[in-house]
A and B are shown apart, each in its own frame.
Chain A
Amino acid sequence: MDAKEIIAKRVALEFKDGNVVNLGIGIPTVVAEYIPKGMAVLLHSENGYIGLGPALDPIDPDVVNAGAKPASILPGGAMFDSVMSFAIVRGGHLDFTVLGALEVDQQGNLANWMVPGKIVPGMGGAMDLVVGAKQVIVAMEHTAKDGAPKIVKECTLPLTGKAVVKMIVTNLAVFQVTGQGLVLSEVAPGVAIDKVRAATAAEFSISPLLKEMDIA
Chain B
Amino acid sequence: MDKVITIPQCEEHLSHGITLAIGGFLAVGTPESLIDYLVEKQFQNLTVIGNDTSFFDKGIGRLVAGRQVKKIIVSHIGTNPETGKQMHSGELQVELVPQGTLAERLRCGGSGLGGVLTPTGLGTVVADNKRVINVNGKDYLLEMPLRAKVALIKATVGDKSGNLICRRSTRNFNPVMAMAADIVIAEVDRIVEVGEIDVDQVMIPGIFVDYICLSGRNADSGC
Query: Which A residues fall within an 8 A CB radius of B?
Result: 45-49, 60-64, 66-68, 71, 73, 79-83, 85-86, 89-90, 109, 119-128, 131-132, 158-163
User: Would you list the 3 A-B pairs with minimal beta carbon distance, nearest first?
Assistant: A121-B78, A162-B123, A86-B100
A82 and B176 form a contact (CB under 8 A): yes
Interface mask (B121-148 → A, CB under 8 Å = 1, otherwise 0): 1111110000000000000000000000
In the bound assembly, the distance between CA atoms of A67 and B25 in angstroms comes to: 9
Cα-based distance from A48 to B167 in the complex (angstroms): 11
Question: In residues 66-109 of chain B, which contact A (Cβ within 8 Å)?
Answer: 74-79, 84, 87, 94, 96, 98-104, 107
Q: Are A62 and B28 in contact (CB under 8 A)?
A: yes
Bound complex: CA A89 to CA B168 (Å): 19
B120–A73 touching, CB < 8 Å: no
How many angstroms between the C-alpha atoms of A45 and B25 in the bound complex? 12
Q: Are A63 and B122 in contact (CB under 8 A)?
A: no
Of the candidates A68, A86, A119, A158, which one forms a contact with B99 in the assembled complex, judged by CB atoms under 8 Å apart?
A86
Q: Is the CB of A162 within 8 A of B122?
A: yes
Judge if B172 is at the interface, Cβ distance under 8 Å.
yes
Q: Is the CB of B172 within 8 A of A48?
A: yes
B187 adjacent to chain A (CB < 8 Å):
no
B103 touching A82 by the CB < 8 A rule?
Answer: yes
Alpha-carbon separation in the docked complex, A67 to B123 (Å): 26
Interchain CB contact under 8 A, A90 and B168: no
B104 close to A86 (CB less than 8 A): yes
CA distance A63 to B170 in the complex (A): 8
**A62 & B75 in contact (Cβ 8 Å cutoff):** no
* Contacting pair A131 B173 (CB below 8 A): no
Cross-chain contact B87 with A120 (CB below 8 angstroms): yes
* Min CB gap B89→A, angstroms: 13
| Complexed CA–CA distance, A140 and B78 (Å) | 19
- Cβ of B216 under 8 Å from chain A: no
Q: Quick check: is B119 within 8 A (CB to CB) of the other chain?
A: yes
User: Do B96 and A62 touch (CB < 8 A)?
Assistant: no
Q: How many residues of B contact A (CB 8 A)?
A: 47
Chain A CB count within 10 A is highest, among B102, B118, B169, for B169
Q: Inside 8 A of A158's CB, which chain B residues have their CB? A: 124-125
Q: Which of B40-87 contact A (CB under 8 A)?
A: 51-52, 74-79, 84, 87
In the complex with contacts A123-B75, A158-B125, A79-B171 CB distance below 8 A = yes
Most buried by B among A48, A109, A159: A48
Q: Does B175 contact A (CB under 8 A)?
A: yes
| Docked-complex contact B76 and A123, CB < 8 angstroms | yes
Among residues of B, the one whose C-beta sits closest to the C-beta of A72 is B168
User: What separation, in Å, do the CA atoms of A45 and B171 have in the docked complex?
Assistant: 13
**Which of the residues A79, A81, A127, A132 comes within 8 Å of B168, measured between beta carbons?**
A79
The residue among A63, A68, A124, A161 with the most chain B CB atoms within 10 A of its own CB is: A124
B169 and A62 contacting across the interface, CB-CB below 8 Å: yes
- A125 to B25 Cα, complex, angstroms: 12
Q: Does B174 contact A (CB under 8 A)?
A: yes
Give the chain A neighbours of B172 by CB distance below 8 A: 47-48, 81-82, 85
- Do A79 and B124 touch (CB < 8 A)? no
Residue of B nearest to A63 (CB): B168
Please tell me if the beta carbons of A82 and B99 are within 8 angstroms of each other in the complex: yes
Known: A48-B25, A62-B221. A90 touches B119 (CB 8 A): yes
Please, which residues of chain B bring their CB within 8 A of the CB of A120?
77-78, 84, 87, 94, 96
Q: Is the CB of B170 within 8 A of A62?
A: yes
Given contacts A64-B26, A127-B120, contact A49 B78 (CB under 8 A): no
Task: Kindly list chain B residues whose C-beta atoms are within 8 Å of the C-beta of A73.
Answer: 168
Q: Which residues of A contact B29 (CB under 8 A)?
A: 62
A214 vs B79: C-alpha distance when bound (angstroms): 37
- Encode contact with A along B150-183: 1 for CB under 8 Å, 0 otherwise: 0000001000000000011111111110000000
A62-B167, A82-B103, A125-B100 in contact; A160/B120 too (CB < 8 A)? Answer: no
A127 and B126 contact, CB distance less than 8 A: yes
27 pairs, A vs B, C-beta closer than 8 Å: A64-B25, A64-B169, A66-B25, A68-B25, A79-B171, A81-B176, A82-B99, A82-B103, A82-B172, A90-B100, A90-B118, A90-B120, A120-B84, A121-B78, A121-B79, A122-B96, A123-B99, A123-B126, A127-B98, A128-B99, A128-B100, A131-B120, A132-B120, A158-B124, A159-B123, A160-B124, A163-B123
